[in-house]
Amino acid sequence: MATLYTYQNSNIRKTWLLMTFFFLVVIAIGWAISWYMDSQLFLYIAVIIAVSMNVYSYWNSDKLVIRLTGAYEADSVRFRELHNIVENLAITAGLPKPRVYVVDDVSPNAFATGRDPEHGVVAVTTGLVALLNRTELEGVIAHELSHIGNRDILVSTVAVVLAGFVAILSDFFIRMLFYGGGNRDRNIHPLVYVFGLIAIILAPIAASLIQMAISRKREFLADASGALLTRYPDGLASALQKISQSAEAVGGMKRASHATSHLFIADPFGKKKGISAMLGNLFKTHPPVEERIQALLGPQI
């Protein structure tokens, strides 16, 4: 019978399988472009730019996310219960107490950031604090602490590095095809160039899909880890149900951003409409709430 432990182990394996596949895609594209250009110089430049930008984002992730979301430090008197919950669960998890922030927004949501447990940040919206009872709030905080403990910021940052790297290489290669460059004296069948061009165009889309798939797996992992931390999966399951229903009623967050959407416990844009809804889970950074609740509570008899 599937348990939270099997969900946890399964998602860890799937995440690293996706990351390995991601690395192989990057290596293949890098090798193909360097072969076509018959030069390593531009490849090195692309790598340096992509890695430098994302390393900076990783080391300053807490400051960047706080600024983008408009979060501010939670007053220890006004939000005493929130501070107590964070401190108690951090002790239970064996983590340093993260800094506690609040976002003024009626849409219920929460996120965690910080490059390591010593620089961890947990933030909740005022809508979340008003909506949930203590047990449900504990489930949400445990989920966010699990992101910090599982080093999910590192995993997501590596995914961003790789996705950005693929996009830069693809754009560079397409420009060279149209404006000249590379070794054109090789006796290569034209179909090879056609298939190569199609692959390069589709590569950034594939990279983004892999990045989103990794994000969804980390959400399942944080759900399982958070439930194991509180020993009460019903609390997080109830919180997810309330968050989903309330988000549909009030809409998305005012300062929602695609750059930070994967950090939140629930999709900050609210219910998808139009083409996004028709594409289903393909371009979502979060798994469906129904699947998350089922994973937490197990099969209902």
pLDDT in 10s for each residue of the chain, 301 residues: 444 455 556 656 766 776 677 667 766 776 766 676 676 666 666 667 666 766 777 788 788 889 889 999 999 999 999 999 999 999 999 999 999 999 999 999 999 988 888 989 999 999 999 999 999 999 999 999 999 888 887 777 667 666 766 777 677 667 666 665 555 555 555 665 666 667 667 777 777 777 787 788 889 989 999 999 999 999 999 999 999 998 878 878 888 777 778 889 998 886 655 555 555 556 677 888 999 999 998 765 4
CA distance 134 to 137: 5
Selection from 107, 165, 55, 125 nearest residue 173 by Cα: 165
Q: Which of 87, 136, 138, 144 is catalytic?
A: 144
CB 264 within 8 A of CB 113: no
136 is catalytic: no
Residue 97, amino acid = K
CA distance 285 to 81: 30
Q: Where are the alpha helices (DSSP H) in 231-274?
A: 233-250
Q: pTM of the prediction? A: 0.79
